[in-house]
Amino acid sequence: MWIAVFFILIANALAVKQNPKVIIVGAGASGIAAASKLIQSGVKNLIILEAEERIGGRVHSIEF
Protein backbone atom coordinates (compact mmCIF):
# COMPACT_ATOMS: atom_id res chain seq x y z
CA MET A 1 0.00 0.00 0.00
CA TRP A 2 2.69 2.52 0.94
CA ILE A 3 4.58 1.80 -2.27
CA ALA A 4 1.42 2.66 -4.19
CA VAL A 5 1.07 5.91 -2.22
CA PHE A 6 4.69 6.79 -3.02
CA PHE A 7 4.12 6.35 -6.76
CA ILE A 8 0.86 8.28 -6.57
CA LEU A 9 2.67 11.21 -4.94
CA ILE A 10 5.25 11.15 -7.74
CA ALA A 11 2.48 11.04 -10.34
CA ASN A 12 0.78 13.99 -8.60
CA ALA A 13 3.98 16.05 -8.71
CA LEU A 14 4.31 15.40 -12.44
CA ALA A 15 0.62 16.06 -13.18
CA VAL A 16 0.66 19.47 -11.49
CA LYS A 17 3.05 20.70 -14.19
CA GLN A 18 0.66 19.56 -16.93
CA ASN A 19 -3.06 19.54 -17.51
CA PRO A 20 -4.17 16.34 -15.78
CA LYS A 21 -6.47 14.00 -17.71
CA VAL A 22 -7.95 12.63 -14.47
CA ILE A 23 -8.75 14.53 -11.27
CA ILE A 24 -9.48 12.50 -8.15
CA VAL A 25 -11.20 14.38 -5.33
CA GLY A 26 -10.02 13.16 -1.94
CA ALA A 27 -7.02 11.15 -0.79
CA GLY A 28 -8.98 8.76 1.38
CA ALA A 29 -9.06 5.01 0.88
CA SER A 30 -11.22 5.25 -2.25
CA GLY A 31 -9.19 8.05 -3.83
CA ILE A 32 -5.88 6.28 -3.23
CA ALA A 33 -7.32 2.98 -4.51
CA ALA A 34 -8.67 4.67 -7.65
CA ALA A 35 -5.34 6.38 -8.32
CA SER A 36 -3.46 3.14 -7.75
CA LYS A 37 -5.66 1.24 -10.24
CA LEU A 38 -5.38 4.03 -12.82
CA ILE A 39 -1.59 4.10 -12.54
CA GLN A 40 -1.45 0.30 -12.85
CA SER A 41 -3.61 0.65 -15.99
CA GLY A 42 -1.13 3.08 -17.52
CA VAL A 43 -2.79 6.41 -16.68
CA LYS A 44 0.03 8.59 -15.38
CA ASN A 45 -1.40 12.06 -15.95
CA LEU A 46 -3.62 12.37 -12.88
CA ILE A 47 -3.89 14.53 -9.81
CA ILE A 48 -5.44 13.97 -6.40
CA LEU A 49 -7.02 16.96 -4.69
CA GLU A 50 -7.08 16.74 -0.90
CA ALA A 51 -8.37 19.37 1.53
CA GLU A 52 -6.26 18.21 4.47
CA GLU A 53 -2.47 18.19 4.91
CA ARG A 54 -2.42 14.39 5.11
CA ILE A 55 -3.81 11.47 3.19
CA GLY A 56 -6.25 8.96 4.62
CA GLY A 57 -9.57 10.79 4.60
CA ARG A 58 -11.63 9.98 7.67
CA VAL A 59 -9.36 7.07 8.61
CA HIS A 60 -6.96 8.46 11.20
CA SER A 61 -6.17 8.29 14.89
CA ILE A 62 -6.70 11.09 17.36
CA GLU A 63 -4.82 10.88 20.65
CA PHE A 64 -6.62 12.30 23.68
pLDDT one-digit tens code per residue, 1-55? 555 565 566 655 555 566 788 989 988 889 989 999 999 999 988 888 888 777 7
Q: What is the pLDDT of residue 38?
A: 94
**Single-letter residue type at 57:** G
Instruction: Note whether residue 58 is domain-resident.
Output: no
What's the total number of domains in the chain? Answer: 1
| Domain housing 38 | 2-49
Q: What is the pLDDT of residue 16?
A: 58
Question: Residue 31 in contact with residue 57, Cβ under 8 Å?
Answer: yes
Instruction: Note whether residue 61 is domain-resident.
Output: no
Q: What is the pLDDT of residue 8?
A: 63
Specify the DSSP element, H or E, that contains 35: helix 29-40
CA proximity to 58, closest of 30, 35, 34: 30
pTM as predicted: 0.64
